[in-house]
């Protein structure tokens, strides 16, 4: 586990680091963080619980698991529909505090990818052959460094240079350092008030 978390800030142009492989499709957010660890009122302690039920046995002893075997890795390589299920932001937060900064997968569940984006975790999609090529490369050299170039959408490791894809809105937000949208949303305060006037139901609820 990475110590003294340096969380993402500002413009994110490159992500580089060791990677860990989580093969298989449809890895859901209950697996990323089991529900019993959602009992918290801040996120910062969640890193230790990422994939907890797969990483530890019933007695709390560590098992062989990519997150245990490569604790320094900052990039996940995964299958299709990664992060499906619950909208719990605890899942990307647990990965973030574990030290994950980028995820390469065949595809992402929508709410999960949106949550990652807001935290500055880059989510890029890979083709199946490219995912297989990365798995193969990491099998022969697990410590190989991966370099993700957000502007070019490329993934480089050793001899391999692959093209990944990232939605334009996420790419732009990472590069500009505006992946947390709140400031921009707040700037439209007057427009929000005006919009309320145009919605027939806007003034409907009165507290009983």
For residue 39, how far is the Cα from the chain centroid?
A: 21
Q: Which stretch binds other proteins (CB under 8 A): 10-18, 69-77, 143-151, 183-191?
A: 183-191
* Cβ-based nearer residue to other proteins, 136 or 202: 202
Q: Does residue 68 bind other proteins (CB under 8 A)? A: no
Q: By CB under 8 A, name the one of 40, 63, 136, 143 that touches other proteins.
A: 40
Q: By CB under 8 A, name the one of 12, 20, 103, 119 that touches other proteins.
A: 119
Q: Does residue 61 bind other proteins (CB under 8 A)? A: no
Q: How many residues at the interface with other proteins, by CB under 8 A?
A: 69
Q: Which residues, numbered 149-168, are part of the site for other proteins (CB under 8 A)?
A: 167-168
Q: Does residue 81 bind other proteins (CB under 8 A)? A: yes
The DSSP line for the chain is: --SS-----S---EEEEEEEEE-SS--BHHHHS-GGGG--S-STTGGGGTTHHHHB-TTS-B-S-HHHH-TT--EEEE-TTBTBS---THHHHHHHHHT--EEEES-B-HHHHHHHHHHT-EEEE--HHHHHHHHHHHHH-TT-EEEEETTTTEEEETTEEEE-B--HHHHHHHHHT--S-HHHHHHTHHHHHHHHHHSTTTT-----
Q: Which stretch binds other proteins (CB under 8 A): 7-15, 27-35, 141-149, 155-163?
A: 27-35
Q: Does residue 205 bind other proteins (CB under 8 A)? A: yes
Q: Which stretch binds other proteins (CB under 8 A): 1-9, 30-38, 66-74, 136-144?
A: 30-38
Start-to-end CA span in the chain (Å): 50
Torsional class of 104: left (φ above 0), alpha (ψ -120 to 50), beta (otherwise) = beta
Q: Does residue 43 bind other proteins (CB under 8 A)? A: yes
Can you give the binding site for other proteins, defined by CB under 8 A? 23-26, 28, 30-31, 34-36, 38-43, 53, 58, 79-81, 84-90, 92-93, 107-111, 114-115, 118-119, 167-170, 172-173, 176, 178, 180-182, 184-186, 188-189, 191-192, 195-196, 198-202, 204-208
């Amino acid at each position: 586990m990475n110590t003294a978390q340096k969380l993402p800030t500002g413009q994110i142009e490159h992500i580089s680091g060791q990677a860990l492989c989580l093969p298989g499709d449809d890895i859901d957010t209950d697996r990323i963080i089991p529900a019993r660890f959602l009992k918290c009122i801040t996120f910062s302690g969640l890193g230790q619980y990422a994939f907890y039920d797969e990483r530890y046995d019933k007695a709390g002893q560590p098992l062989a698991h990519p997150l245990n075997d490569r604790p320094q890795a900052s990039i996940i390589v995964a299958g299709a529909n990664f992060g499906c299920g619950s909208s719990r932001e605890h899942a990307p937060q647990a990965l973030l505090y574990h030290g994950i900064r980028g995820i390469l997968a065949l595809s992402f569940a929508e709410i999960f990818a949106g949550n990652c984006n807001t935290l500055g975790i880059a989510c890029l999609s890979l083709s199946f052959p490219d995912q297989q090529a990365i798995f193969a490369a990491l099998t022969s050299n697990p410590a190989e460094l991966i370099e993700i170039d957000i502007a070019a959408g490329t993934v480089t490791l050793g001899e391999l240079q692959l093209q990944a894809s990232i939605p334009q809105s996420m790419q732009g937000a990472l590069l500009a350092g505006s992946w947390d949208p709140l400031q921009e949303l707040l700037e439209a305060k007057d427009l929000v008030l005006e919009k309320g006037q145009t919605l027939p139901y806007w003034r409907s609820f009165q507290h009983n």
